[in-house]
Structure 1
């Protein structure tokens, strides 16, 4: 897969390591088409017998992911469109959840909103000191409803509430590590990548059946998420049309 006007996505496999690499000129933000392609890429690698472990990463050295593409949020005209857009994030989370392989994230920079949700869904996360996180949704009248289940599962309700309520505040990478969102934090990408690929190469040699069984046990209790996240996407799709949210979104128009 290659670049389109809605961003870029590359899905590759080498030596048992599958990679899903996404990019967008606006701080790796995620329009609806790119969300769909990411979910599809994860499904493809999950079914690929040559892939033993999957890496999710973004392009560039700055932001990991700026979350939802604001121009698409502003353009939503009805509840059906709204639900469909937010289902893009739900589909990625469910793709990671049901994936037969461990999904490892490489977080080189800041993450906002849906980007934090994708990180929260991953089974193991490497990050640099630049990888601050923020959930800004409530500040524009939406709320992080689709990604809340995966964050509450990973870092607990209290920490998820802290991120969600203090919506304009960045939490640094060490806060994220302390809460369990990140497994390891490094001073720079060189050090991160060394440890990252050491783990990926080890996992590529392990018994895939054992890893699949372990993943399934770690995700026990989330079997209802197909329904839950669809309900959350519908709620978000309704809220984005509210007068308060539309007014807040207009501030982002260029």
Structure 2
């Protein structure tokens, strides 16, 4: 079916394009997140892939964050921790990947989607790529994605968008804060720039790029434990009376 969720890897000129899609504005349920983490890991281990591009299907939204349907149905701590570990596993897969990951952000990105963008090594966007951290709106917070966003944008910028949970911030603001490297007027312009950069990176020494990747992510070796702890915080909060009352309105 054309509108079915998917994660796929396509390889072109040694560039591995990892693409995810979900018909609900690319919001990501647990099974799609698990597939995405595994696909990134597999691309990292594939000798034919020298550089990875992370992208999503569709024109308007890069990623709307976690699946609301799954969020509403969490009824115990263990399920909550597993649910919120989904984005943690994707972030950690990108962190540990021995290859550079380039982000392609074609449209709005919310919550966990901002975390995915922040976990790439180099990220390009279009003028439609506004960002928002909306978690506080439902009584939780951006705990799992926080470390990736803070690492990329700094505590000040991360706390600003986390506290101003109703507002979309412009791609120009996100570029100024270090999340995006360039903003393009059209998706076509962005795709041409990503292709050129990715294929140029493929001409460089893979060992040098691997060592650089390790250097870039130095100091994050504890993130397996950290993001797991953060997932547990979100899992606990989502079961609280405050959040349960808010979620009832969405049922």
The equivalent of 2:142 in structure 1 is 144
2-side partners of 1:23 and 1:249: how far apart?
24
Deviation at 1:180, TM superposition (A): 0.3
Corresponding residue for residue 205 of structure 1: 203
Q: Deviations over 1:68-122 (max 9, x none)?
A: 0000000111000000011110000000000000001100000000000000000
1:222 partnered with 2:220:
yes
Tell me if the contact between 1:154 and 1:180 (Cα under 8 Å) persists in the aligned partners.
Answer: yes
The corresponding residue for 1:247 is 245
C-alpha distance in structure 1 between counterparts of 2:12 and 2:190, whole Å? 20
For structure 2, the 5+ residue unaligned runs are none
Which residue does 2:155 correspond to in 1? 157
Question: Given the alignment, which residue of 94, 97, 106 partners 2:95?
Answer: 97
* Counterpart Cα distance in 1 of 2:138 and 2:165: 9
Q: How does 1:106-145 map to 2 (within 5 A)?
A: 106-145=104-143
In structure 1, the gaps of 5 or more residues are: none
Alpha-carbon deviation of 1:12? 1.9
Moved more, 240-249 or 166-175: 240-249
Q: So what's the TM-score if we normalise by structure 2?
A: 0.98
SS at match of 2:203: coil
Q: Post-superposition shift, 1:187?
A: 0.7
Distance in 1 of aligned mates of 2:193 and 2:108: 20
Alignment deviations for residues 136-156 of structure 1 (CA, whole Å, 9 cap, x no partner): 001101100000001110000
The one of 206, 229, 235 equivalent to 2:233 is 235
**TM-score with structure 1 setting the length:** 0.97
Spell out, residue by residue over 1:163-184, the C-alpha distance to the aligned partner (whole angstroms, 9 max, x if none). 1000000001000000000011
Superposition deviation, residue 66 in structure 1: 0.3
Residues 55, 106 of structure 1: 8 Å contact kept: yes
Cα distance in 1 for partners of 2:231, 2:160 equals: 22
Say which SS state the counterpart of residue 169 (structure 1) adopts. Answer: coil
